[in-house]
A and B are shown apart, each in its own frame.
Chain A
Amino acid sequence: MRRYLGILAVASMFLASAVNVNAQDMLQIKGSDTLINLVQRLAEEYMEKNPGKYIAVTGGGSGTGIAALINGKCDIANASRLMKPKEITQANERGADPKRVVIAMDGLSVITNLKNSVTKLTKDEIGKIFRGEITNWKEVGGTDMAITLYGRQSNSGTFVFFRDAILKGDYSQKMNRMNGNAQIVEAIKQDMSGIGYVGVGYVKDASSQLNVVKVASSPGADYTSPLNSNDVKSGKYPLARPLNQYVNGSPKGATRDFIAFELSPEGQKIIEQEGFFPIPDEYRDFNRKSVGLE
Chain B
Amino acid sequence: MKQKQFTQILGFNFLRMCMFIVIAALVVILYDITSKGIGKINWEFLTAMPRKGMTEGGIFPAIVGTVMVTVITAILSIPLGMGCAIYLNEYARDNKITRIIRMSIRNLSGVPSIVYGLFGVVIFVQLMHLGTSILSAGFTLGLMTLPWTITASEEALKNVPNSYREGALALGATKWQSIKTNVLPYSISGMLTGTILGLARAAGETAPILFTGAAFYLPFLPKSLSSQFMALPYHLYIMATQHHAIAKVRPIAYGTALVLITVVFLMNLFAVILRYNLRKHKME
User: Number of B residues whose C-beta is below 8 Å from A?
Assistant: 33
- Residues of chain B within 8 A (CB-CB) of A186 are 246-247
B222 to chain A, nearest CB (A): 5
Question: How many angstroms from the CA of A182 to the CA of B242 in the assembled complex?
Answer: 8
Given contacts A1-B188, A186-B247, contact A21 B71 (CB under 8 A): no
B64 to chain A, nearest CB (A): 6
Given contacts A12-B67, A44-B52, A58-B216, contact A36 B244 (CB under 8 A): yes
Q: Is B219 among interface residues, defined by CB-CB distance under 8 A?
A: yes
Q: Is A125 among interface residues, defined by CB-CB distance under 8 A?
A: no
B71 touches A9 (CB 8 A): yes
A16 touches B222 (CB 8 A): yes
B71 touches A59 (CB 8 A): no
Q: Is B119 among interface residues, defined by CB-CB distance under 8 A?
A: no
B244 touches A58 (CB 8 A): no
Q: Is A5 among interface residues, defined by CB-CB distance under 8 A?
A: yes
Q: Say which one of A49-57, A96-104, A229-237, A257-265 lies at the interface with B.
A: A49-57
Question: How many angstroms from the CA of A1 to the CA of B215 in the assembled complex?
Answer: 31
Q: Is A8 among interface residues, defined by CB-CB distance under 8 A?
A: yes
- Residues of chain B within 8 A (CB-CB) of A55 are 219
**Digit string of A168-179 for contact with B (CB within 8 Å is 1, else 0)?**
000000000001
Question: How many angstroms from the CA of A176 to the CA of B119 in the assembled complex?
Answer: 30
A277 to chain B, nearest CB (A): 18
**Digit string of B174-189 for contact with A (CB within 8 Å is 1, else 0)?**
0000000000000011
- Residues of chain A within 8 A (CB-CB) of B242 are 33, 59-60, 179-180
Of A19, A56, A57, which one neighbours B223 at CB under 8 angstroms? A19
User: Number of A residues whose C-beta is below 8 Å from B?
Assistant: 37
With most chain B CB atoms within 10 A of its CB, the pick from A8, A23, A44 is A23
Q: Is B243 among interface residues, defined by CB-CB distance under 8 A?
A: yes
Question: How many angstroms from the CA of A59 to the CA of B247 in the assembled complex?
Answer: 17
Of B52, B189, B216, B219, which one neighbours A60 at CB under 8 angstroms? B216
**Digit string of A1-31 for contact with B (CB within 8 Å is 1, else 0)?**
1000100110011011111011100100000
Of B67, B192, B215, B244, which one neighbours A181 at CB under 8 angstroms? B244
B71 touches A12 (CB 8 A): yes
Which residue of chain B is the closest to A56 with respect to CB atoms? B218
A149 to chain B, nearest CB (A): 19
B267 to chain A, nearest CB (A): 11
- Residues of chain A within 8 A (CB-CB) of B113 are none
Of residues 52 through 89 on chain B, the ones whose CB sits less than 8 Å from some CB of chain A are: 52-53, 64, 67-68, 71, 74-75
A179 touches B241 (CB 8 A): yes
Q: Is B34 among interface residues, defined by CB-CB distance under 8 A?
A: no
Q: Is B206 among interface residues, defined by CB-CB distance under 8 A?
A: no
Of A5, A18, A19, A57, which one neighbours B71 at CB under 8 angstroms? A5
- Residues of chain B within 8 A (CB-CB) of A8 are 67, 71
Q: Is A290 among interface residues, defined by CB-CB distance under 8 A?
A: no
Which residue of chain A is the closest to B67 with respect to CB atoms? A12
B31 to chain A, nearest CB (A): 24
B184 to chain A, nearest CB (A): 12
A37 touches B244 (CB 8 A): yes
B217 touches A22 (CB 8 A): no
With most chain B CB atoms within 10 A of its CB, the pick from A8, A55, A182 is A182
B223 touches A22 (CB 8 A): yes
Question: How many angstroms from the CA of A182 to the CA of B247 in the assembled complex?
Answer: 8
A21 touches B247 (CB 8 A): no
A18 touches B221 (CB 8 A): yes
Q: Is B9 among interface residues, defined by CB-CB distance under 8 A?
A: no
Which residue of chain A is the closest to B237 with respect to CB atoms? A179
- Residues of chain B within 8 A (CB-CB) of A44 are 52-53
A59 touches B244 (CB 8 A): yes
Which residue of chain A is the closest to B189 with respect to CB atoms? A1
- Residues of chain B within 8 A (CB-CB) of A57 are 217
Kindly list 7 other residue pairs between chains A and B, CB separation below 8 angstroms, not including A12-B67, A37-B245, A44-B52: A16-B64, A44-B53, A56-B215, A56-B217, A60-B216, A182-B246, A202-B244
7 residue pairs, one from A and one from B, having the closest CB atoms: A58-B216, A40-B53, A179-B241, A37-B244, A12-B68, A19-B221, A19-B220
Complex A-B: 22 CB contacts under 8 Å = A1-B192, A9-B71, A12-B71, A16-B64, A16-B221, A19-B220, A21-B220, A22-B223, A33-B242, A37-B244, A37-B245, A40-B53, A41-B53, A44-B53, A56-B217, A56-B218, A58-B217, A179-B242, A180-B241, A180-B242, A180-B246, A182-B243
